[in-house]
């Protein structure tokens, strides 16, 4: 009995232990304990020690890999770093660059005979890779082949602020796995001059080709340039992929603009020469939104013989051979036809060899695109055409640099179009960053106020929803709520080094509905756009953290129910607030950390509507969002 009690005590001690930290360095040794002063030499060794929630810091410097570092061969691949260990939800296995340092993994000496090279072959899930470079990955096979810097087969992984460059391999490649986020990554100057005809026809910046069931993969704020084939490619996909605020330029060329592979900016589908009975049913539809394609050899945005349409929202194309090429095929996967079932809204093309090609406009939905106007853009419609801005250094948080290239001038007839709109029509069917049509798979619908030069975005980072905007933003939960229910979530106003950090406006709407339009999601993110919406509204720390107020909107009135001005009811930076909202039989309550701040029995209660997170100019993190139906 005493032995059992001791074992239970020991288990409790182990389970109570906090996350551990390990270190890897170019001058490390795998016989070391992996401490800061005695680091490991390889990520592979570090993986044997970590558990969910732990972090491996990669020290700066160059790691020169050789064939001796190959961990295992899988299929045709020589896998150098094989990450096959998984974290847990909310407890990722973290492989991070040490703060302020840049680790560079060089694979020039990894040349296994008759094998493809995978620098990082990832089969685990809940893994977060951040802040390092992969360079010099080789191709050693003369026939049709490829190598990869990162190949993903796991789910819920985050690839953040990674640079894959100056090699012969595809930067990032996904075949399996769901809900992966590829965030703030760059793939550039990758060219396979060895295999086949030496033209680099298989070396894309980013390739996403998910198998059946591998859903929800998102590429956000990535850049691809001077890759010898395409910037982004989703050929042979069984599930849909989303590209959000990504840039693609100079693909299909070497840095001296020698013509090489295909050279499309965004290749949005297609199934090559597959027999018709091998085409997935339903055929996936790619979403490309707020993306930029500049001077790619072939098309900026290309449907690639796909067997249905895709969703193209607020994209800008400039100086591509064809800016928007919507070529489709019939279900036989043999017969090319003009594009059908495409949705194109708010797209902007300028100075392409052709602006729009291979499309049956009568079989597609087109709205507010530059190629629909009788007037063509001119240089005067843009603030800048300086392409040197495309390769500017990223912001300290890894986000895309602020640029003025291809920003329409306010007042231009094209001001509401493209990936840098100066204005967004209040009647637009989709918001400034809301993307695909509202579906059960699209849980959040963001509406973001666009401001010139601002870097505003809403994205998922692991299990957190991040609102990082310079202007107003509403992020709607895409499910109408009725009856009695309870909403819970954790919310933090982040104050650190972000460009939009500001202690203000932890706000929320609920029971929201537009009495004049059944489609609520038609606004631009400006607060005044919601004046005619019926809703309840709590603004915590409004007016630059001076007030906390509860209002009811209705009939154009914004009735103030209650207000706090004391410090106890204002915001604190980086504090996690647990917020609860209840609606029950005509009474709604708003609680913070279990304390009721507002309770209101409404004589004319709102009985159904949508919930939305609301902010103006701040960076916020939201976790653990739940909705519970009450009796």
DSSP secondary structure string for all residues of 516-540:
T-S------S-GGGGTTSEEEEEEE
For 117-154, the DSSP string reads EEEEEE--SSEEEES-EEE------SSS---EEEEE-S
Percent of the chain with pLDDT over 90: 76
Write out residues in the chain with pLDDT < 70, as ranges.
Answer: 1-17, 423-442
The pLDDT assigned to 10 comes to 39
Distance between CA 556 and CA 427 in Å, rounded?
18
pLDDT value for 471: 87
Backbone angles phi, psi at 135, to 5 degrees: -140, 155
Spatial distance between the Cα atoms of 379 and 359, rounded to a whole number of angstroms? 27
pLDDT of residue 611: 96
Which tokens hold the place of 385?
């055409």
The pLDDT assigned to 595 comes to: 86
User: What 3-state DSSP class applies to 387?
Assistant: helix
Residue 298 CA to residue 322 CA, distance in Å, equals 6
If DSSP states are collapsed to H, E and C, what string results for 541-610? EHHHHCEEEEEEEECCEEEEEEEECCHHHCCCCCCEEEEEEEEECCEEEEEECCEEEEEEECCCCCCEEE
Instruction: Supply 429's token pair.
Output: 């069917």
Give the C-alpha separation, 433 to 203, whole Å.
30
For residues 41 and 613, what is the distance between their CA atoms, to the nearest angstrom? 45
Beta strands in 136-249 (DSSP E): 148-152, 158-160, 163-165, 170-174, 181-183, 186-188, 206-208, 217-220, 223-225, 232-233, 241-244, 247-249
Kindly state the greatest CA–CA separation across the chain.
87
pLDDT of res. 423? 55
Identify the DSSP state of 401. Answer: P
- Distance from C-alpha of 291 to C-alpha of 248, rounded to nearest angstrom: 8
Gyration radius of the chain over CA positions: 26
C-alpha 489/C-alpha 480 separation (Å) is: 18
DSSP 267: E
**CA 12 – CA 63 distance, rounded (Å):** 39
Does this model's pTM top 0.75? My answer is no
Residue 444: predicted pLDDT: 85
CA distance 291 to 306: 20
């Amino acid at each position: 009995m005493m032995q059992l009690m001791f074992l239970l005590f020991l288990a409790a001690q182990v389970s109570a232990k906090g996350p551990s930290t390990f270190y890897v360095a170019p001058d490390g040794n795998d016989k070391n304990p992996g401490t800061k002063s005695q680091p490991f030499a390889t990520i592979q060794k570090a993986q044997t020690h970590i558990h969910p929630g732990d972090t491996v810091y990669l020290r700066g410097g160059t790691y020169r890999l050789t064939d001796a570092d190959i961990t295992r061969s899988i299929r045709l691949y020589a896998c150098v770093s094989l990450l096959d260990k998984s974290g847990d939800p909310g407890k990722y296995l973290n492989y991070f660059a040490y703060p302020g340092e840049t680790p560079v993994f060089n694979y020039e000496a990894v040349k296994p005979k008759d094998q493809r090279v995978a620098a990082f072959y990832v089969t685990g899930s809940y893994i977060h890779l951040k802040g390092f470079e992969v360079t010099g990955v080789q191709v050693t096979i003369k026939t049709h082949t490829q190598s990869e810097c990162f190949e993903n087969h796991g789910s819920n992984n985050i690839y953040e602020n990674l640079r894959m460059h100056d090699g012969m391999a595809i930067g990032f490649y996904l075949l399996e796995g769901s809900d992966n986020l590829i965030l703030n990554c760059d793939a550039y100057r990758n060219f396979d001059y060895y295999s086949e005809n030496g033209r680099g026809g298989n070396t894309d910046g980013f390739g996403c080709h998910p198998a059946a069931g591998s859903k929800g993969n998102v590429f956000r704020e990535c850049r691809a340039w001077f890759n010898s084939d395409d910037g982004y490619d989703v050929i042979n996909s069984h599930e849909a992929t989303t590209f959000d605020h990504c840039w693609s330029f100079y693909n299909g060329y070497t840095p001296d603009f020698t013509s090489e592979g295909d050279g499309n900016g965004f290749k949005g589908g297609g199934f090559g020469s597959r027999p018709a009975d091998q085409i997935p049913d339903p055929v996936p539809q790619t979403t490309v939104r707020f993306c930029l394609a500049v001077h790619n050899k072939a098309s900026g945005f290309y449907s690639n013989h796909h067997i249905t349409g895709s969703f193209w929202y607020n994209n800008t194309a400039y100086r591509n051979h064809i800016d928007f090429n919507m070529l489709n095929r019939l279900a036989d996967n043999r017969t090319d036809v003009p594009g059908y079932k495409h949705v194109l809204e708010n797209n902007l093309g300028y100075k392409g060899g052709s602006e729009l090609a291979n499309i049956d406009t009568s079989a597609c939905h087109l709205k507010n695109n530059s190629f629909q106007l009788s007037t063509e853009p001119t240089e005067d419609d843009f603030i800048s055409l300086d392409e040197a801005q495309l390769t500017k250094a990223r912001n300290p948080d890894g986000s895309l640099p602020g640029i003025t290239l291809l920003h329409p001038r306010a007042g231009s007839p094209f001001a509401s179009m493209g990936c840098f709109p100066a204005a967004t029509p209040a009647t637009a069917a989709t918001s400034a960053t809301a993307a695909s049509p509202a579906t059960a798979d699209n849980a959040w619908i963001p509406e973001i106020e666009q401001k010139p030069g601002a870097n505003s975005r809403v994205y998922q980072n692991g299990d957190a929803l991040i609102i990082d905007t310079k202007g107003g933003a509403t992020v709607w939960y895409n499910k109408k709520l009725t009856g009695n229910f309870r909403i819970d979530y954790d919310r933090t106003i982040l104050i650190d080094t972000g460009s939009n950090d500001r202690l203000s406006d932890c706000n929320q709407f609920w029971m929201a509905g537009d009495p004049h339009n059944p489609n609520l999601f038609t606004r631009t993110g400006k607060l005044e756009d919601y004046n005619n919406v019926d809703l309840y509204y709590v603004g915590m720390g409004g007016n630059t953290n001076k007030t906390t107020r509860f209002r009811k909107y209705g009939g154009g009135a914004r009735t103030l129910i209650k207000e706090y001005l004391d410090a106890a009811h204002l915001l604190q930076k980086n504090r996690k607030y647990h917020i609860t909202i209840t609606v029950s039989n005509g009474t709604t309550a708003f609680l913070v950390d279990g304390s009721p701040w507002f309770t209101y029995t409404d004589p004319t209660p709102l009985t159904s509507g949508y919930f939305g997170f609301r902010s103006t100019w701040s960076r916020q993190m939201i976790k653990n969002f739940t909705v519970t139906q009450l009796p």
